[in-house]
Amino acid sequence: MTAQPLPPPADTTLELIGRTPMVELKGFDTGPCRLFVKLESANPGGSIKDRIARSMIEAAEKDGSLKPGGTIVEATAGNTGLGLAQVGILKGYKLLLVVPDKMAREKIQHLRAMGVDVRITRSDVGKGHPEYYQDMAAAIAAKLNNAVYINQFSNPANPLAHETTTGPEILEQMEGNVDAVVVGVGSGGTLTGLGRFFRKASPKTRMVLADPVGSILAPLIERGEEVTPGSWVVEGIGEDFIPDNCDLDLVAKAYEITDAESIAAARMLLTKAGILGGSSSGTLLAAALRYCREQTEPKRVVTLVCDTGSRYLSKVYNDSWVAEQGLVDRELHGDLRDLIA
């Protein structure tokens, strides 16, 4: 193998966002398929959200809603916040984040260490409630001077970042040949951006949704069923509403994945491939493995490691926490056994 020339030093970490590596998963039971993972955890802020942080901030600068020294307000599971902090500190913006209280403490510590004003709110209330994280962020931004609610759920610069960067990178890395991409939905940016890109650039590529049990999305897609939202421990994906940025028509197939299966898959990714991913990466991997095994023809399937698992050492990778959550009962062992090739 010829060594590729290394790029010269970057001016700032902003230039290091994107162009993330991809690796094939070997030794997993993928049926007739080959499965590849794109390591979004390799972004400087540690997640796929660096890409949208940069594009949403730059769009707000361009349209004049964000002025020098201004405050960016957002509702986030943590990763968008970390991405916004990553980009914001380099561009001189203040950041105020409203975060639901179920999120891992590593993310909160990381955000506070970056000087972010973090407001924790309830994760047991829905849209329309004043303590719902998105309603709270919008209300705070409306009261502050020189502040913008960046709103990843409706901001078109979110899917655009994936349409213009993540999608083309995947197609290039897969040498133009990709049959399916397995994604989760938090804001819908990844799904919609990648779906739009592949519809034009590679129409054969199917978008597959990995959704936690309790989310409303997969039952709607698979059975047209409108379920009452439940709760799940996986962070960053699964929805109790359909965000503006989420175009479900792009989804060819959806899987409902239990927390136990997500955690088992995340841990398997670490023990078999040496990749430390977050909880949502476990959900995506579990769905990708199911999809691969259901195929009768060889397919080339891609999924994402959305963020680094170092953010979840106290949860996903902590045996006592997993046991406390009741995620290791017999049934789950069944899932686990099923997952391990």
Q: Is 188 in the site for ligand PMP (CB under 6 A)?
A: yes
Does position 217 interact with ligand PMP (CB under 6 A)? The reply is no
Taking the complex as a whole, the smallest distance from the CB of residue 6 to ligand PMP amounts, in Å, to: 29
Query: Annotated catalytic, 49?
Result: yes
CA gap 135, 113 in Å, rounded: 25
Residues 297-316 binding ligand PMP (CB under 6 A) are 306-307
Instruction: Calculate the alpha carbon distances from 72 to 83, 85, 156, 190, 312 in Å.
Output: 12, 9, 16, 21, 26
Q: Residues 26, 38, 49, 107: which is the catalytic one?
A: 49
44 versus 184: smaller Cβ distance to ligand PMP: 184
Residues 87-126 that bind ligand PMP (CB under 6 A): none
> How far is the first Cα of the chain from the last one, in angstroms, to the nearest whole number?
30
Shortest CB 193 distance to ligand PMP, Å: 8
Which tokens belong to 311? 């953010």
Inter-CA distances, 203 with 32, 35, 174, 176, 222, Å: 21, 19, 15, 11, 21
Residues in contact with ligand PMP, counted by CB under 6 A, come to a total of 18
81 interacts with ligand PMP by CB under 6 A: no
Least separation in angstroms between CB 213 and ligand PMP: 16
Residue 184 C-beta: closest distance to ligand PMP, Å: 5
Cα 169 to Cα 20: distance, rounded to the nearest angstrom: 8
Distance, in Å, from the CA atom of 304 to the CA atom of 181, rounded to the nearest integer, reads: 9
Residue type at 126 in one-letter notation: G
The single residue among 100, 167, 189, 195 that binds ligand PMP, judged by CB under 6 A, is 189
The region of 90-98, 200-208, 230-238, 332-340 touching ligand PMP under the rule CB under 6 A is: 230-238
Neighbour count for residue 288 (Cβ, 10 Å): 29
- Closest residue (Cβ) to ligand PMP? 236
CB of 189 to ligand PMP, least distance (A): 4
Residue 195, interface with ligand PMP (CB under 6 A)? Answer: no
Q: Is 338 exposed, middle or buried (0-12, 13-18, 19+ CB in 10 A)?
A: middle
Q: Which two tokens stand for residue 169?
A: 């990178």
What is the contact surface with ligand PMP in residues (CB under 6 A)? 47, 77, 79, 184-191, 235-237, 278, 280, 306-307
Q: Residues with catalytic annotation?
A: 49
